[in-house]
Structures are given as structure tokens and as C-alpha cells.
Amino acid sequence: MEKSCSLVVHFDKGTPALANEIKEALEGNDVAAKIEALKKAIMLLLNGETIPQLFITIIRYVLPSEDHTVQKLLLLYLEIIDKTDSRGKVLPEMILICQNLRNNLQHPNEYIRGVTLRFLCRLNESEIIEPLIPSILSNLEHRHPFVRRNAVLAVMSVYKLPQGEQLLDSAPEIIEKFLSTEQDPSSKRNAFLMLFSCAQDRAINYLFSNIDRITDWGEQLQMVVLELIKKVCRTNKAEKGKYIKIIISLLNVPSTAVIYECAGTLVSLSSAPTAIKAAASTYCQLLLSQSDNNVKLIVLDRLNELKSSNRDIMVDMVMDVLRALSTPNLDIRRKTIDIALELITPRNIDEVVMMLKKEVVKTQSGEHEKNGEYRQMLVQAIHTCAIKFPEVASTVVHLLMDFLGDTNVASAMDVVVFVREIIETNPKLRISIITRLLDTFYQIRAARVCSCALWIIGEYCLSLSEVESGIATIKQCLGDLPFYTATEEGDGQDTSKAIQQVNSTTVSSRRPAILADGTYATQSAALETAMSPPTLVQGSLASIGNLRSLILSGDFFLGAVVACTLTKLILRLEEVQTSKVEVNKATTQALLIMVSMLQLGQSSALPHPIDNDSYDRIALCIRLLCNTGDEVRKIWLQSCRQSFVKMLADKQRRETEEIKAKAQISNAQPDDLIDFYHLKSRKGMSQLELEDEVQDDLKRATGEFTKDADDANKLNRILQLTGFSDPVYAEAYVTVHHYDIVLDVTVINRTKETLQNLCLELATMGDLKLVERPQNYTLAPESSKQIKANIKVSSTETGVIFGNIVYETSSNVLERTVIVLNDIHIDIMDYISPASCADVAFRTMWAEFEWENKVAVNTVLQDEREFLNHIIKSTNMKCLTPPSALEGDCGFLAANLYAKSVFGEDALVNVSIEKQTDGKLSGYIRIRSKTQGIALSLGDKITLKQKGVA
């Protein structure tokens, strides 16, 4: 857009209307044609065309029109035409407009008066406005509020003009008088805004003289009052107390917009516990009363900010925050749970867990499609609570174990991981958990959950009865042996007794499965999905077990886990069972099961044979049971548990370190003033004012008011745009803040001439958009100018800003000089920050994300850990693989890195490297993301940085 105007109109430059056609339409009597012609004229003017011959036609034929649309378009036309000549003097023909505007201001129709007054707010020429001032003032007493509210705004804009105080010196007095008698809420708001902008003391006097009636004022006026309070308190902190009382009183008004603004103002102005508590209560009230999910998310963001700065006060509000879980939206529920988990204390933990348990129970009965995902969130929240406060584990663990057979595999996995951790950290619960697990094991339908549950059974069944129950449960779930017998004829007929078929709910594609007798049956691909409860088949003693159906579908990893669990249970049985006969009997049964699994795996009937790893593990278990020794027994029965305990301790240590890192270290400056409030006079101070004073002094003493001046970092971000020998030198300081990039460009005229119409022209490549069109400047000899350019970012991608500086010299106005600027590359590192996520979530995202960028390792570094640390530092990501897993020197290293962008996008990186015999590192770095931009940009960054290592 070439010219500023209050209206933005789409204009197709491909079909410009001819000036003659517009002129003819304006001279005609058809009102509709006049409207269309005026619109075309305005669009042409907005896009840089000049049509000087139209002005007189409009004065003659359009000015007298009584049509309201024509009059409004006329005012828009008058707004954008040039009203001054090249020297800045008002054109003589503008006198014709003055008379028309005066007539409009005295027009019998209130709409014409109102739009004309609004038009005057956008006029900057005092010569045109001066003769109209009496008419503007007379409209302050018009009967219609539409006219009065616009008249107030017109008075304010006149008073704000460079010569405004001479034109209308009594404006504040007139408006104050108007305000005391006015009844219309919008007019009162505009009048108060005028006093607030132009005569602040009068606005404050009016506020305190009507302090008892503030709660009855209209919503718009109350919002302006809050703006005034913010402005006054920033400049005069000593007066803060009495204004905070006004804000507290406004918290009880019916308008939700006002109370939201009040809460925000309170938090920004005061640190007093009473004020923070009032703000937090207001946010919680809005959280429950508002139905719009966007509003709820914004309010939760505000509560999250309060939690960071005033945790002690927010702890008491945790139950109010949790009431937001009644909203079915998952984002709101996730945010609510995240806030609540950081507010749990020994005092409120029981209430919080009780609330979460109720929500878990609700997910069973409800038919909501996202119930599985919500249940998973709740399980993770309860897990966190139980780790922080082990005493609550006993109240929740049995309820959660009902969900081991959950159709949502992720939720069931969270439950079994929770149970695994609790059984180790809470020894008192071991017996009850093992008993419950053995009772409910048959319900588990997912292979991953079965594997984890079998590990628990193998490690924590200690007494004779528990070990025997564990072996019996596994045998029952495996069903009758053998798993597979070859047919004599090869025609698929039975050669042994009928075996129960797997009865599963069809979830995905169907495929043939081999029954124990070798015949084919159709079975669903139900490894990780739902299966209906086992049903008794006539002629069999028990229904087919979950382990059998999963192993028959080809899951030999699970078969290896079954073999390891049975081995552990047999080894423990040898310790607790005195009867050698019973031990030998159990051993032979276990060996038979393992041999049967190997036989099934090597049969030609299965679509895929057993994998080598699973085969080796099962064979190892068979060899071990045939020949046990003390050293091997120690490894199997003690070392596994010790590794798990070490892993838990390592996890706890990492979490503690993260909490310590988050704790802010504040420093007070040596010369900061500290007031001792005990020595202050308390006369006339309310409790709230006193609290506020104390909190301010404490903050000043502990250094919370000090802002970290990142001056050294700021210097690193200055980019040189032109050379030192160019007539104009330019450099830019780039600030990236979420969705905005601000270029602060310093331009220095190094010549002895005045540079006219100097313009910084920028263009962008990538997902960057220029917000505004740069202005023209005049630069005196050897002077400098600060030019700001705003750019919007829409995705995490490396973008480029390029452009040039164009100017004219005073000696040769006709010739324009162009200086091409260096490109500014916007780095992806400005958008992404290190983040954490659970292992399960990482794997899920890794499987889901479609964009992958594979970068080959090419570096001179020869140490695996050093190279990993270099990649972490270069990409601004967090290593999710614990340090303990990276210890040792084996010549291999694999690690997962994770980061999140400001737009909420996830960036996943897997580093897999190997040390070659010549000492060099080889391998790949794989990047995955949902969008192409982040994967490509990160890949480029890694390629650049790994080569740059010296």
C-alpha cells in the first residue's frame, strides 16, 4: 500500500478503471453508479495512481448528494487525497471542503454528523480543522449519543495535534465538565480516555471523586480505568496501594473481560500474597465459568505463570485448578494436570490423588472416543504423585491394575511401568501387588505389557506359594503342549485332539495362524490391540491363554521373555522348595515349554521363522536349567534387580538435578536501595498496602527485580549489512521472539551530502512475511538513523532476509543510488529449545512422523562422547538417553535427542555412531519431524557444524 488509510481494499491492478469512465459515472444521476465510481477512484488512489481532474468533479457532483453511502465514501476519498503541496502548505481548493464539513457537522441527520466527526479524527491539517472547532464543540451537546461519543474523539484528536493546545486550550476542562453530566457509557468512556491521554491529573481526580461508583460504570469505562491505573503505577510506585484497592473492588463486577484484566493488572503491579490470591481465585473462577476452550487455555497459561512466581500461594488453589478436568478437551486436561503436578505437597497429595482416581473411574463408564488417551494421562499423573509421595501408592496401585488389560496399549504400558516401579520402591506392597498381578495376568492382551508383567513375576515372586502360583499362571496362559505338531498327510486334517481356537476381536487385517495341531485358522492381527475375553471351547478344560495366542501369531520375543521368567522362577524354586522331586518336575515342564517354542519357531508352517536373538535366549535358558551353578544363579536372581534399582536411582538423580537447575539464582546489586518497612510509618496504610511494601522490599533485597543484561550476547547478534567503504553504512541487530523477528537497523550517512528519500527495501525467502512497508527518510550529512522492520514467522524453517538501501542525493535528485545488503540468515536455533519427553512418547512420535533426514557422520573427532556433546551443543537439543547408558567404551554409541519449537513442533534426532579400526567415527544421524522444514533445516545445521569441527 502506497498511502495510509483507515480502510484496506482488495484491488486487482489487472483491470484499472479509466479516469474518464469514473468521471462520467460521478456526473450522472444514478446513485449506485456513483458509489461504484467512488470505490474505483479510492482503490486507484490507494495503489499510487493520481487523478487530479476528479477533484472538481467530486466537489460539484458528489458533495451535494444526500445518500449516506456516498457521503461515507466521499469522506474516505478526502482522507487519502493529498491536501498539501510540496512545501507542506494546505492547497487553496481545500477551502471548498471546509464549508462542506461545517454543513455536515450541522446536518439534521445524526449519522452524517457522526461519520464526519470520525473523519476529523484522521485529519492532521490544523488550517482545515480550525474553522470547524465551534461546530465540533456544539456536537458535544447533541441529543444522540453516537454524535456525542464521536465529538469527544474529535476534540481529543484536535488537542493532540502539534498546535492543538493553541487551537483548543480549554479542551480538558470542557471534557471534564461533559464527563460529569454524561450518561451514555460509550461517550463516558471516550471522555475519560481523552482525559487519560491529554490531562492525566484530571482523570485521576475524576476517578477518586467517583470511587464508590466505579463498580457500576460500564465495562468499556472500567477497562480504561485499569489502563490508567497501570500507567500511573508504573510512573509513581508510591501511590500503588490505593489503586490496588480499586482493582480489588473491580474483581466483583459481572463483566468477565474486566475481571480478567483486573487479575492481570494485580499480578503485574503487586507481589502481596492477598493480591496474588485474589488474582488466582479470579482465574480459577473464569476457568470454570467460561465455555470457550481458547479462553480456558489462555487462563491456564496465566495460572502457569503465577505458579512459576508464586508457588506457595498457588498450592492452596490446586483443587480449584483440577476442576477444569471436567472439560472434555484433551489439551486443557493435559495443561491442567501439568500445573497441578507441580503444586502437590504432603498437605494436598491425598486430595489430588483422590480426584485423579475419580477421573480414572469415569473413563471406564464414558463413551468418549479420547477416553483411552485421557486415562493414559491420568495414569502418568498418578505415577508421578506416587514417586514423589510413596505413601499414596497403596491407595491407587490396585485400582490401576484393573487397567492392565486396557484396549489402549499405551495406557496399559504406563500402568505396568508404574507397578514395576512401585513394587521396588514400596516393599510393603510387594505381596499384594504380586497376588493381584497373578490373578489378573490372563486379562493382559498386549505383548509389550505381557513382557513387562512377566519380568515383575520373575523378579518379585519370592515365597514358595508365589513361585508356584507364578509357574502355574504362565502354564495356564500358554495352554496345552505342544504348540505345533506336523500333519501326517499334509492335507490339513487333525492328527491329535482338537485345540481351542483363538477368539479375538478383529482390529486390523486378518491373516492365517497355525493352531497347535498344525492346521490353519483365521486370526486377527491383534498383537497390540484388543482381544475379547477367552471363551470356553467344548471339550477343553480351559480357554486359550493370552500368551499362547501371542506366541502363535509369531511373537518370539515374548516367547524368550517367557523362557527367562520360567528360568528365574525355577532357580528361585530350588531355593525355597525342599522337595527335590517337585523341583525336578517343574524343571522338566519348563524345559518342555521352551523346547516346544523352539520347535514352533523352526517349523515351516509359520510365515516367519524365529529370529536368532530369541532362539539364542531360549537355548541359553535350556542349557542353564540343565546345568545350574552358583555364579549363574547370582547373575539371574540378583544382578537383574540391581540393574533396575540402579536405573531408578539414576532417574531420581537426574530429576533432582533438573529441579536444581530450574531454581533461579537471584543477585542483588551492591548499590541497590533496601527499605526497612519496620521503620516506616504505618499510619493510614491498609493491610494490603503494607503487604505490598514488604514484598517489594524482599524482592529488591533478593535481587528479583534485577534483569539479566545480556549485553555480551547482544553484541554477538549484530550483523554487518554493508561494507565500510560504502557511502551508507548499515548494521542490524536481530531479535527473534516467538512469531516475530525484529530487525533494528542502524543506517549511517558517511557522505558530506544530505540523502533524500532513503528507503530500506527488504524481501524474504522461506516462511517469513514482512509486516509493514518501509518509510522514506532524509539523512543529514554524517548522521545516523535507527530503522525498525518487523517480520512474521509462520514455521520452524531457516529463512533468508535480503534487500537494499535506495536513496537520492541533494545534488542529483533524478538519479537513485542502490546499495545491495548482505543476506540475513534466520537460524533455526532461534526457534527450537531443549525439551523432555518420555521414552514411550519418543518412540510413538518416531513411528508416526513422516519426514526423515539422514545425515552421514563426517567428522575429525575420534571420541564418541565428545562428538555427541558437540552435536547436542550445535543443535540446541536435549539428550534423552541417560548418562549411565552412555558410559563405558565399547566402540558403539546410540542416543536420542529431542527439542521443541516455539510453534509446538517436535524435533527428534537419533545419533548412531561406531568407531572404526582406524580410529575414525562412522554412522548416521537421523532427524524426524512432522514437517519438512524442520527436518531439512536441522540436517543442514548438523552437516555444517560437524564439518566445522577442528
Q: List the one residue out of 735, 758, 761, 734 whose CA is nearest residue 748.
A: 758
**What proportion of the chain, given as a percentage, has pLDDT over 90?**
3
In angstroms, the Cα distances linking 168 to 114, 161, 178, 859 are 20, 10, 15, 74
How far apart are alpha carbons 361 and 341 in whole angstroms?
19
| pLDDT per position as a tens digit, 723-773 | 888 899 999 888 777 677 888 899 999 888 888 888 888 888 777 777 776
How much is the pLDDT for 518? 45
Cell numbers placing 346: 504432603
CA neighbor of 845 nearest in space, from 934, 905, 913 = 905
Residue 935 has pLDDT above 60, yes or no: yes
Query: For 197-239, what is each residue's pLDDT tens digit?
Result: 888 888 888 888 888 888 888 888 888 888 888 888 777 777 7
Q: Which helix (H) or strand (E) element contains residue 520?
A: strand 520-524
Q: CA distances (Å), 836 to each of 253, 877, 896, in order?
A: 42, 9, 11
Burial 125-156 (b: 16+ CB within 10 A, else e): eeebbeebbebbbebbebeebbbbbbbbbbbb
Higher pLDDT pick, 433 / 774 = 433
Residue 676 has pLDDT above 60, yes or no: no
Tell me the residue type at 754: T
Cα first-last separation, the chain:
50
Question: Is residue 656 within 8 Å of 679, Cβ to Cβ?
Answer: no
Residue 664: what pLDDT?
A: 53
More confident residue, 768 or 452: 452
Residue 893 bridge partners (DSSP): 913
Output the CA angle 847-853-854, nearest 5 degrees: 100
Mapped onto helix, strand or coil, the DSSP state of residue 853 is strand
Please give the C-alpha separations between residue 753 and each of 177, 777, 807, in angstroms, as whole numbers.
53, 14, 12
Instruction: State the pLDDT at residue 544.
Output: 62
Read off the pLDDT band of 495 (50, 70, 90). Answer: very low
Distance CA 521, CA 502 (A): 9
Task: Give the model's pLDDT for residue 747.
Answer: 92
- Mean local confidence (pLDDT), 129-142: 87
Q: Residue 789: helix, strand or coil by DSSP?
A: strand
303, 298, 302: which is closest to 320 by C-alpha? Answer: 303
As given in the structure block, the three cell numbers for residue 828 are 533455526
Query: 800 versus 667: which is more confidently predicted?
Result: 800
CA-nearest of 618, 561, 620, 592 to 483 is 592
Give the per-residue pLDDT at 748. 92
* φ/ψ (deg, to 5) at 943: -60, -45
In the chain, % of residues over pLDDT 70: 83
Residues 748/728, Cβ–Cβ less than 8 Å: yes
Question: Angle at which helices 349-365 and 371-388 pack, to 10 degrees?
Answer: 160
Query: Cβ(109)–Cβ(144) under 8 Å?
Result: no
- Over 726-762, what HEC string results? CCEEEEEEEEEECCEEEEEEEEEECCCCCEEEEEEEE
Specify whether the CB–CB gap between 325 and 333 falls below 8 A.
Answer: yes
Q: Do you know the residue count of the chain? A: 950
Element (H, E) at 524: strand 520-524
Helix (H) or strand (E) holding 352: helix 349-365
**Per-residue buried b or exposed e for 656-687, using 16+ beta carbons within 10 Å of the residue's own CB:** eeeeeeeeeeeeeeeeeeeeeeeeeeeeebee
Residue 874 burial (10 A CB sphere; 0-12, 13-18, 19+): middle
Residue 760's nearest CA partner among 741, 736, 739, 785 is 785
**Confidence band, pLDDT 50/70/90 cuts, at residue 926:** very high
Phi/psi of residue 257, nearest 5 degrees: -60, -40
Instruction: Return the bridge partners of 800, or none.
Output: 765, 825
Burial of 261 (0-12, 13-18, 19+ CB in 10 A): buried
Q: Are strands 799-809 and 824-826 parallel, antiparallel or unpaired?
A: antiparallel
Local confidence band at 875 (pLDDT 50, 70, 90 cut-offs): confident
Could you tell me what percentage of the chain is helix, strand and coil, using 3-state DSSP and rounding each to the nearest 5? 55, 15, 30
Sequence-separated (6 or more) residues with CB below 8 Å from residue 538: none
CB of 55 within 8 A of CB of 85? no
Angle subtended at Cα 72 by Cα 71 and Cα 75, rounded to the nearest 5 degrees: 90
pLDDT at 496 over 50: no
HSE-CB at 185 with a 13 A cutoff on CA atoms is 10
Residue 367: its pLDDT value, please?
62
- Is the predicted pLDDT of residue 491 greater than 60, yes or no? no
Chain centroid, CA 229 distance in Å: 31
Q: Give 628 or 156, the one with higher predicted confidence.
A: 156
Yes or no: say if 282 and 262 are a contact pair by the CB < 8 Å rule.
Answer: yes
- Which residue has cell 513394587? 423
Question: In this structure, what are the phi and psi dihedrals at residue 493, rounded to the nearest 5 degrees?
Answer: -85, 155
User: What digits encode the pLDDT tens for the residues 848-866?
Assistant: 888 888 889 888 888 888 8
Q: Which strand (E) or helix (H) includes residue 688?
A: helix 687-702
Per-residue pLDDT at 688 exceeds 80: no
E-assigned strands of 596-695?
none
**pLDDT (mean) for 384-397:** 79
- Is it the case that residue 792 has pLDDT exceeding 50? yes
Neighbours of 502 (CB within 10 A): 23
> Using CA atoms, how far apart are residues 16 and 44, in angstroms rounded to an integer?
8
Rg (alpha carbons) of the chain, rounded to whole number: 39
Is the pLDDT reported for residue 463 higher than 80? Answer: yes
Please tell me the number of Cα atoms within 13 Å of 898 on its side-chain side: 16
**Which grid cell sits at 362?**
469415569
pTM, full prediction: 0.66
Q: What is the structure's pLDDT at 540?
A: 35
Phi, psi dihedrals of residue 914, rounded to the nearest 5°: -140, 145
Task: Write down the mean pLDDT value for the chain.
Answer: 78
What pLDDT score does 708 carry?
A: 44
CA distance 106 to 104: 5
Helix segments in 216-328, DSSP class H: 219-235, 240-250, 256-269, 273-289, 293-309, 311-314, 318-322
* Cis peptide preceding 162, ω within 30 of 0: no
Of the listed ranges 157-161, 364-368, 914-918, the least confidently predicted one is 364-368
pLDDT band at 504 (very low <50, low <70, confident <90, very high): very low
